[in-house]
Amino acid sequence: MINLKELVIYPSSECNLHCKHCYTNKEPYELGFDDLKWIKQTFNPRKTIIMGGEPLLYNELEYILHIFPNVTISTNTVYVEKKLDMLQNYRNKLTLQLSLEGSKEETNTIRGEMIWEICMHMAKLLQKHSINFYFRASYHQDNLNDIVKYVLPLAKQFNVGVMLLPRIDLPSLDGNTQAWFFQQVIGFKNCAVAQPHFFQFIDKPGRCKAGDERINIYFDKRITPCNFDLEYTLGHIGDDEKTIVSNMKMFVENFKVPPAECSGCPQNTVCKGSCYISKSYIGCPLRYNVGINTVIMKSNLDEKTVKQEMNLLTNYVKDLGIC
């Protein structure tokens, strides 16, 4: 078996929403029962992340919950209440990732009418029934203030995490903006940008797991390095295990190299430019020697307290099993 820290599975392309920035193939694809059995027999992940489409619409979701460990389901939340009994049955091994944008207005514009309100209602329902969840939101140049104003405070409101990922269809942030945004994020408990260069920024280990510690299985049976990288193919469901392992090694050794923009950065061989799909290295603050120690010095913060908080944050994110 192939040991992994994280296995991402897209079991179905079916979705009830038509998000304007969705990069998922809209053709009707679905993994069958035999596909799931092959995945289980081939891979040994510590954590399993189910994406879509909308996973709560997938007919074999309960089988996934039964056979895979530490499952996180990424959902738009619309069907949470209908699936509540099933979710409760597996709550000891289950976490839900509730997807939002930068504000109520942006969420409802991109995802559909009343989706923000539905998400808040379902969050309260999950909290009532002691089912683990956290929020996930997309950031970009034009919604950073809304993220700080509306999304990050959800961590305190619900006592859960808020994880942020960049919109891969929009330009990366510039260095000053990225540094400012990182500082805003670390001002909120259990909030993080779920990317390697953010953790390097707070002086913690951060590396791209794609292709070795983390792989993705798409609903058309392709195996790719991660759920962002759907172009590079490592194999297909049913392929020989040795071939997949060989392709994983080839990808890591020959494709995952630090970009030219990271030349001279002491973290470049580990971080390798953070997310190469979102091109987050373009505005990485580390390129300008700006990190948490710079923030502590300029803001006259207590170093010991800040470092303790960063330790707690790192452990929390690791427990969630985020990119």
For residue 73, what is the domain's CATH number? 3.20.20.70
Helix, coil or strand: residue 96: strand
The pLDDT assigned to 232 comes to: 93
* Average pLDDT of the chain to the nearest whole number: 90
Taking 90 as the threshold, does the pLDDT of residue 154 lie above it?
yes
- Distance, in Å, from the CA atom of 81 to the CA atom of 88, rounded to the nearest integer, reads 11
- Distance, in Å, from the CA atom of 278 to the CA atom of 173, rounded to the nearest integer, reads 10
Domain that holds residue 253: 2-320
More confident residue, 319 or 95: 95
More confident residue, 17 or 236: 236
Q: Average pLDDT, stretch 283-295?
A: 81
More confident residue, 93 or 208: 93
Instruction: Give 140's DSSP letter.
Output: -
71-75/235-236 β-pairing: unpaired
Residue 154: Cβ within 10 Å count: 22
State the sign of the Cα–Cα–Cα–Cα dihedral 209, 253, 230, 220: negative
The structural domain count of the chain equals 1
The pLDDT assigned to 100 comes to: 94
Q: Where are the beta strands (DSSP E) in the chain?
A: 2-9, 43-50, 71-75, 94-100, 132-139, 162-166, 191-193, 214-217, 222-224, 235-236
Taking 70 as the threshold, does the pLDDT of residue 74 lie above it?
yes
With tokens 């059995």, the residue in question is: 37
- Distance, in Å, from the CA atom of 51 to the CA atom of 223, rounded to the nearest integer, reads 14
Query: Dihedrals φ, ψ of 179, to 5°?
Result: -65, -45
With tokens 């969630």, the residue in question is: 320
0.85 exceeded by the pTM? yes
